[in-house]
Amino acid sequence: MNVLRFESESAWIACVCSLWRDRLQTNPGLKMCLPSGTTPAGIYAGMSKSARAGLASFAWASVFALDEFGGLAPDDPGRTRHTLQRQLIDAVDLPASRFYFLDPDVPDVNHHCTAYDEAIGDGFDLMLLGIGLNGHLGMNEPGSAPDSPTRRVELHGSTVQSAARYFAHQNVPQWGLTVGLQAVLASKEVWLLANGPAKAGIIQQTVRGEIDPSNPASLLRRHENCSLFVDAEAGGLLLD
Ligand code: PGA
């Protein structure tokens, strides 16, 4: 795992956006998997700005949403699909037909998840990930099998608690659908992103602790092309 630590959040954002523009330029048909959450918000704003300035194009690319919350109204603004649309998709030139998302309201969720894995096909070129306070990736909670497929999952208590900030109501989701660790670990390139002081502990464990499914993010240390991008706060315990 290549660890990149930045002195400021703005430098962290600028570097990720610059590399992302480069990947799109080198491979216009880039197949990406993207998270929602608060971590990538500034990066998505930077990429939206780049697209508006003509410095980045998603015209030939594909984007798959990493996960989706279940048990919400279809138009709930906290759903991953809507958050990603607001933060990035609506601001860039990605054709609507190449934005893939998970729908927890379909009658046959298992079939839907299998079809998602089929659409992913031979894997992602680039996967962006946030990290949960317990090391989860997407909704792959601690204990998820490294070869897990896209599937329905129950969220851990701490995940439910921390997801509450995404919603303006009390009906915080207890379950969701997530791309599995199999597709995460098979992605050609993975960028694990973390900012802010709350992530310092789990980042330290991820980089220095045991490689074990009890911390899904630690499994990325076995990936051949994974970079961890942290700001000074999230990387604050990595120095010594
Ligand atoms: P956050 O969520 O980006 O909102 O901190 C990360 C996660 O729980 O995966």
pLDDT at 171: 92
Query: What DSSP string runs through 100-166?
Result: E---TTSS-HHHHHHHHHHHHTT--SEEEE---TT--BTTB-TT--TT--SEEEEPPHHHHHHHGGG
pLDDT at 239: 77
Q: For the chain, how far is it from start to end, CA to CA, in angstroms?
A: 17
Pocket of ligand 1 (CB under 6 A): 37-39, 130-132, 136
Closest by Cα among 104, 103, 84, 102 to 94? 84
Q: Is residue 175 within a helix (H) or strand (E), and if so which, with residue range?
A: strand 175-178
Task: Determine contact, residues 175/155, Cβ cutoff 8 Å.
Answer: yes
Handedness of CA 137, 143, 144, 145 (dihedral sign): positive
Rounded distance from Cα 230 to ligand 1 centre (Å) = 14
* C-alpha to C-alpha distance for 100 and 116, rounded to whole angstroms: 8
Rounded distance from Cα 198 to ligand 1 centre (Å) = 11
Closest by Cα among 139, 150, 128, 135 to 219? 135
Give catalytic residues, as residue numbers: 67, 134, 136, 141
Q: Which residues sit opposite 4 in a β-bridge?
A: 229
pLDDT at 108: 98
Give me the tens of pLDDT residue by residue for the chain, a chain 240 residues long.
999 999 999 999 999 999 999 999 999 999 999 999 999 999 999 999 999 999 999 999 999 999 999 999 999 999 999 999 999 999 999 999 999 999 999 999 999 999 999 999 999 999 999 999 999 999 999 999 999 999 999 999 999 999 999 999 999 999 999 999 999 999 999 999 999 999 999 999 999 999 999 999 999 999 999 999 999 999 999 976
Rounded distance from Cα 194 to ligand 1 centre (Å) = 8
Ligand 1 site-directed mutation target among 39, 165, 190, 206, most atoms within 8 Å of CB: 39
* C-alpha to C-alpha distance for 184 and 129, rounded to whole angstroms: 9
Look at the pTM and tell me if it is higher than 0.95: yes
Closest ligand 1 atom number to CA of residue 37: 4
Q: With H, G, I as helix, E, B as strand and everything else as coil, classify residue 191.
A: strand
Nearest CA to ligand 1 atom 7: 132
